[in-house]
């Protein structure tokens, strides 16, 4: 895997030959596994109810909710017609995804407040259990990715 193949290194602004690039090279397997996880969560072979564009839009939304506009822009490139969902002021109701967007926002920002009613609300909308898990995987991965990027930026002396 090259530097340009890694979202976390690219978005964090890690340049080839820098001290941070050298440090991450000693843990290349972690960078590779992180990229593999991104590919699995954002671009899986079996998308279930949420196609790649919807996943990208929701990822951009979570990135924006975490104030990482560079990461949001990265994911917006794959959001297509679903890009409107990346706007945190958008409810998703116009796309028939209001309950999904509200759930993603709550998982991203108020994880400890998730209650059985939140899951029941998704199920009442016809969202299969496997797709609810997929949404949670997406948000969990983004929480990890955003923290890795923030850490890499800090290693370079950037305040995020």
Query: Residues 119, 99: contact at Cβ < 8 Å?
Result: no
pTM of the model: 0.93
pLDDT 10s digit of each residue in the chain, 160 long? 455 689 999 999 999 999 999 999 898 899 999 999 999 999 999 999 999 999 999 999 999 999 999 999 999 999 999 999 999 999 999 999 999 999 999 999 999 999 999 999 999 999 999 999 999 999 999 999 999 999 999 998 865 5
Contacts of 153 (CB under 8 A, 6+ apart): 12, 13, 159, 160
Residue 54 makes CB contacts below 8 A (sequence gap 6+) with 82, 85, 97
Phi-psi region of 92 (alpha: psi -120 to 50; beta: other; left: phi over 0): left
pLDDT on residue 5: 82
Cβ distance 18 to 45 under 8 Å? Answer: no
**Is the distance from CB of 72 to CB of 60 less than 8 angstroms?**
yes
User: With DSSP H G I counted as helix, E B as strand and the rest as coil, what are the percentages for the chain, rounded to 5?
Assistant: 70, 0, 30
């Amino acid at each position: 895997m090259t530097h340009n193949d890694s979202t976390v290194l690219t978005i964090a602004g890690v340049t080839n030959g820098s001290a941070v690039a050298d440090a991450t090279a000693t843990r290349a397997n972690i960078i590779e596994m992180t990229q593999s996880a991104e590919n699995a969560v954002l671009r899986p072979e079996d998308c279930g109810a949420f196609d790649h564009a919807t996943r990208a839009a929701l990822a951009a939304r979570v990135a924006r909710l975490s104030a990482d506009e560079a990461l949001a822009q990265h994911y917006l490139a794959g959001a297509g017609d679903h890009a409107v969902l990346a706007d945190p002021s958008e409810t998703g109701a116009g796309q028939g995804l209001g309950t999904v967007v509200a759930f993603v926002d709550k998982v991203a920002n108020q994880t400890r407040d998730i209650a059985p009613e939140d899951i029941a609300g998704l199920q009442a909308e016809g969202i299969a259990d496997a797709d609810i898990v997929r949404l949670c995987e997406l948000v969990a991965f983004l929480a990890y990715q955003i923290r890795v990027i923030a850490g890499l930026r800090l290693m370079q002396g950037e305040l995020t």
